[in-house]
Amino acid sequence: MSAEPTTTFAQPGLAIPYPLLLVAELSYVCPLKCPYCSNPTSIVGARRSQELATEEWSRVFHEAGKLGVLQLALTGGEPLLRKDLEELCSAGRDAGMYSTLVTSAVPGLADRVAGLKDAGLDHVQISIQHADPEKSELIGGAVSFQQKLDAAAATRELGMPLTINVVLHRLNLDDLDAIIELAASLGARRLELANTQYHGWAKLNRQALLPTREQVVRGEETVLRARERYGARMEILWVLPDMFEDLPKPCMGGWASDAIIIDPNGRALPCQSAATLTDLPVEHVREQTLEQIWFDSESFNKYRGTAWMQDACVTCPLQRQHVDHGGCRCQALALTGDAANTDPVCHLSPHHGDLVAMRDGELAVPVAERPELVYRTTARPRA
Amino acid sequence: MSGALPTSEHRPTLASGVRLHHDAIRERHVLLFPEGALVLNETAAAVLALCDGVRTIDDIAAELAPQFGGADVRADVAELVAGIAAEGLMDRDDER
């Protein structure tokens, strides 16, 4: 090891816990084109040759295990596009982490899942776009429905735990009952129902995807009824839509408090949308160890604690600055122009009125006049 | 759900997809499962390490007794297994 003194951006006196979760985005490329994707729109032109190599990921997993990370999410883009996924599962297991494959199930998870399990994969999480095959493919922009069903069945046949996740929006909220039934029939132990967070491609498609308040209220009622029906057989998570809330979520449980995200090319970030924070310094696993990035880097320390907060949070009459940590930095930047502002979802934010006006303005546009979906892609447009 | 304690002949085993792990940096044992972790004390970790679907509750209690001065720990083992089962982390008979 080098004996050079370490530069640290850690704030004196602020305790930093060890991380619990590593999100490994293995590739930006994806066979699906979901317009609600939270990946940054800057992924257009992403090249697979720039992705981290097998041995680089293995080293990162090893460092993560040493650093106390317990959960590993293998995601993308589509992680199944990595030919070395079996090796990466095995590296995750060797590092002591519990691994989850977060996948569209395309291409070909059904045929590959047994080998992935043998290599060390613990848990499979499959996305569903809709309970109806045609609508599913309209939202996902690709033929995939049957492959998802086959992969879910193959996963359950192996006795592996299965989670189904569904991102909710105007085009599928009214069919929530059928979606829940589908997840149960596939043998899901957990069902994550997450209303769209408007980052990346989803921000581009906000007008097309934004549901009405009535849709959201009915959706929540549907979830409450389903929880009674399924009890402990299937855990149903419901992630509220920010646009209709007046208190922010504790985004990521606080900035850099338990998770590290590594993008396909090796950039380390404190959240999956943080690449949208254009002035955030770049930390790269090819240049630093995870330990250095976690404890000492500028970007991971930037919004830790409360010292960076603006007045609305510092003087919070609800004392929520230690509860919700000021909400989401990416949303603050996207909607107020400054990532250090209080999340405008908060009714105490001076920008909350702007968010309400924007939301109501977009909802006032008749559905027929809403823009068409812009599908996610990594391909450059042809000249 | 919770309530009924397992019988002395029950052969407990962790549910599929649940793993016992030693969290070295935090110096503790945890149970890992989808999207979560449950922190265990030393006794719980020792019991769960023996929940292999072969040993009965009585076997496990007998094996651990020397660590507790020869005390009869059958009730403690059964309660712990019931508690972990209530979290959905033990194999359920109806799933076999």
pLDDT of residue B3: 58
Alpha carbon distance A105, A124 (integer Å): 9
Q: Which residues of A touch B (CB under 8 A)?
A: 18, 20, 66-68, 70-71, 96, 98, 100, 122-123, 125, 159-161, 163, 189-190, 232
The answer to whether the Cβ–Cβ distance between A161 and B19 falls below 8 Å is no
Chain B hits for A74, CB-CB cut-off 8 Å, are: none
- Helices and strands per DSSP (H, E), number in chain B: 3, 3
Asked if B58 and B8 count as a contact pair (C-beta separation under 8 A), the reply is yes
3-state secondary structure of B58: helix
- Which of A98, A121, A165, A239 is the best residue to mutate to test the B interface, defined by the most B CB atoms within 10 Å of its own CB? A98
> So where are chain B's domains?
13-89
Closest residue to B23, CB basis, from A68, A100, A163: A68
pLDDT of residue A136: 97
Task: ipTM value, please give it.
Answer: 0.90
Q: Which residue of A has its CA nearest to B87?
A: A232
- Token pair for A325: 């940590």
Q: Which helix (H) or strand (E) holds A310?
A: none
Q: What is the dihedral of CA A47, A48, A50, A56, to 10 degrees?
A: 160
Closest residue to B17, CB basis, from A68, A123, A232: A123
Which architecture does CATH list for B13-89? Orthogonal Bundle (1.10)
pTM of the model: 0.94
pLDDT of residue B68: 87
Helix, strand, coil share of chain A (percent; to 5):
40, 15, 45
pLDDT digits (tens, 9 = 90+) for A217-258: 999 999 999 999 999 899 999 998 888 999 999 989 999 999
| Arithmetic mean of pLDDT over chain A | 94
The answer to whether the Cβ–Cβ distance between A160 and B26 falls below 8 Å is no
Give the contacts of A3 (CB within 8 A, at least 6 positions apart). Answer: none
The answer to whether the Cβ–Cβ distance between B34 and A18 falls below 8 Å is no
Residues of chain A with pLDDT under 50: 1-2
Give the contacts of A369 (CB within 8 A, at least 6 positions apart). Answer: none
| Rounded (5°) CA angle A179-A180-A185 | 95
- Token pair for A331: 């949303």
Query: Which phi and psi angles does A293 have, rounded to 5°?
Result: -60, -45
pLDDT of residue A5: 55
pLDDT digits (tens, 9 = 90+) for B28-80: 999 999 989 999 999 999 999 999 999 999 999 999 999 888 889 999 999 99
How close, in Å, is residue A371 to chain B by CA atoms? 36
Q: Which residue of B has its CA nearest to A233?
A: B88
- Token pair for B28: 């503790």
